[in-house]
Structures are given as C-alpha cells and as structure tokens.
Amino acid sequence: MRKIILSILALLIIVGAVYIARQLAGMKEEVKPVEQKVVSSVYAQTVENTSASITLSTSGSLMARDRIDIFAEVQGIFESSARLFKPGSNFKKGETLLLINSDEFRANIRAQKSNLQNQIVNFLPDLRIDYPDAFPDWQQYIRQFDESMPLKPLPEAKSEQEKLFVGSKGVYTSFYNISNLEERLVKYTIKAPFNGVLTEALVNPGALVSPGQRLGEFIRNGLYELEVNVNVTYMDLLKVGRSVEVHNMERTKFWTGKVSRVNGKLDQASQTIKVFIQLAGADLKEGMYLEADLEAKEVPNTFEMDRQLLQNDDKIFVINNNLLEMVTVVPAFFKENTVVVQGLADGTQILAKPVPGAYQGMRVKIIE
C-alpha cells in the first residue's frame, strides 16, 4: 500500500512540475519586448555645385614701409629740434629732427677758407705775368670770396700749364679739403626725409652725441606693409600688384591693399614664402595684427558646407531613401568654419547639421 501511495505522489509531482514549467515558458513569451525601429529627425540641404573662389586667409603684423634708424655721424652736444624730440612727435619733410652744435667745426672751416684765400692772393701776381688770360677769372673769384658762405667752384684752367701752376701752389688740395669739411658740416643737422612720426627717442637735448650712436627711430605716416606667410602651392598665383582684402581680427574694419613684394627665398621648414602687402590709411598703426584674404584661384563643380559634417577628412553622410549613406568626397579647400568639396552630384541631399551617433544605414526623417 505504501509503495502505491509513493508512486502516486511521485507521478503527481512530475505532472505538477511539467505544468509549472509550461506556465513559466508561456509567461516568458508574453513579456518578450517587441523591437522598435527608431527614426531620427534631421535637417537636410540640397547640393548645388558652383565655381568656388579659393581664398587664402593669412595673418601678420603691420610694419611701416619707410623707416629710418637715426644715427650720429659727428660728435657734439644735442642742441635743439624743430619739435619735441619724444616718441609720438610728428615731423614734416625737411624739418630738423636733431641739431648738433657745430660752432667749433664751423670755426675750423672758416680758418681753412682763410688759408685758401691767402694762397690764391699770393700767386695772383705771378699768374698775372705768366697767364694773363686767366688772371681776370681768379681776380673776380677772390673778390667774391666770402668765408661765411659755401665755397664756390674754382675757375676752370684754360690750359694744362695753368692747371699745373695752380696745383703747385696747393690751391686744389686746400679746396677739396674744405669741400670735404663742408659736406661733413651738413651732418650736424639731421632733417626728416619724409612726413612721419618719431617712434623712438634715445637722447635728450644737452646730451653729448658721439659718432655711430643710435639716436632714435623715425617712420612714415599712413603707409604700411603687412608681412604674411603663404603656402608655396600658391606662389605662382600671387603676382605683384594684385589686390588683397585686409581686415582686423574682429572684422569691424576693412582695407584694400596690393601685393608689393614677394620674397624670392622659401622657408624650408614651413614650406611658405613671405608676401608683403602694401596698405595706406590714417587709422592704421604699426604693430596692428591684421588678416589678409588672398584670392588664389577658381575651382569648378564645388560645394561649400560645414566642416563638422566631414568624417575622417574625406567622407560625409548623404540621405538616400530616408537612410544615411556614407560617401567619399574630395576636399578642395578648408576655410575657418567651412570646407569646399568636390564629388557630389547636383540635387544630392546631405545633412545640414551634424547628427550625434550617425551611422551607415541609419533611418532618418527630414525636417521641412
């Protein structure tokens, strides 16, 4: 009897276990999640190829085209200046930048002139006898001789014998020595070679100036050059005289310049060449940091788009039947925020804005 009861209980347990297993299996099938297809909404743009003008953007510091370093060639006391000899002082062409005291030097010249005058007077009697034709010219010269005025040219000799006679008296030697001193006297006065401004002043009135001493710096007003570096690829396209658009870094002021010089030496490290752009303007100042836009060449069948849409430097997503498809393009030129590419057919729809997590085959919905 006990065996019968145990057999019945075992059978009931087996049947119950099978029933519970089937119930659990049915419940698992009911809670199985249904796969949902996610559709992202995106903005699109249609490709319209055009001819793009490649513009090279490069920057540099502005420098005065004309500048001079003021040096002393003579020694003396810095006496005065036409205006205050300080940075920022403007001088007109021909005005005195520095006047160095030359009283002692002038006295020496007058003494040399007096010696020349005596030499001529001493040989006049012999000249009247030996060369009577030349006597009136020398007599007139000595009558007009003025020690306070610049030396006048000596009378021309009418014969070779007269020239040798005058030379034997030491007249020509004295004359050329005085002419040399008069040339040196001019160096005691330093004049402005053009309208400009003093940007550096290293001496004050009353200071002793020595030969070779640097006294300051003077630049021309309103005329400047912008030095920029351009890739050697576009070297042949940058011709002297070509117009260039220049602006400040905030793009609030614009100027039009022209290529004035192109350096003939290439920087081997950066493979760039220096280009100098001439600019003029009252609101320009030396040292300003400016940006130049150089139009290099025209590239046909191109499309300009946001640089952030470019994947791996040469691929972008296009929209084909509401699916994203990655295609290869050829970047022709990179700008600050955009890129000009080739290889897209007219009418192709591409993303207008980057989509986070975009992938090949992603289903999208275009937002009108």
Looking at the structure, tell me whether residues 148 and 174 fall in a common domain: yes
The pLDDT score that the predictor gives to residue 36 is: 53
Distance CA(289)–CA(62), nearest Å, equals 6
- 282 plus 324 within the same structural domain: no
Instruction: Note whether residue 70 is domain-resident.
Output: no
Question: Is there a domain that residue 94 lies in?
Answer: no
Cβ neighbours around 362 below 10 Å, total: 18
Domains identified in the chain, total number:
4
Determine the structural domain holding residue 148 and report its residue range.
104-186
The pLDDT assigned to 231 comes to 79
Burial class (CB in 10 A: 0-12, 13-18, 19+), 91: buried
Instruction: Write the CA distances from 264 to 13, 45, 102, 273, integer angstroms.
Output: 101, 45, 45, 8
- Asked if the structure places residue 326 within a domain, the reply is yes
pLDDT of the residue at 296: 67
Pair (110, 161) in one structural domain: yes
Dihedral of CA atoms 203, 204, 207, 210 in degrees, nearest 10, equals 20
The confidence score (pLDDT) of residue 87 equals 93
What is the band of 41 on the pLDDT scale with cuts at 50, 70, 90?
confident
On whether both 149 and 182 belong to a single domain, the answer is yes
Report residue 291: phi and psi, to 5°.
-120, 135
Q: What does the CA dihedral 176, 179, 183, 188 come to, rounded to 10 degrees?
A: 120
Q: Is 302 among the domain residues?
A: no
pLDDT digits (tens, 9 = 90+) for 186-215: 999 999 999 999 999 999 999 999 999 999
Radius of gyration of the chain (CA): 46
Domain presence at residue 76: no
Indicate the range of 34-38, 333-337, 349-353 predicted with least confidence: 34-38
Structural domain contains residue 212 = no
Based on the domain organization, do 337 and 360 belong to the same domain? Answer: yes
Residue 149 lies in a domain: yes
pLDDT at 186: 94
Mean pLDDT of 14-41: 65
Residue labelled with tokens 């920087």: 267
Do 72 and 216 form a contact (C-beta atoms < 8 A)?
Answer: no
pTM: predicted TM-score of the whole model, two decimal places: 0.64
What confidence score (pLDDT) does residue 37 get? Answer: 60
In a domain, 236, yes or no: yes
Same domain, 282 and 342: no
Longest dimension (CA), the chain: 184
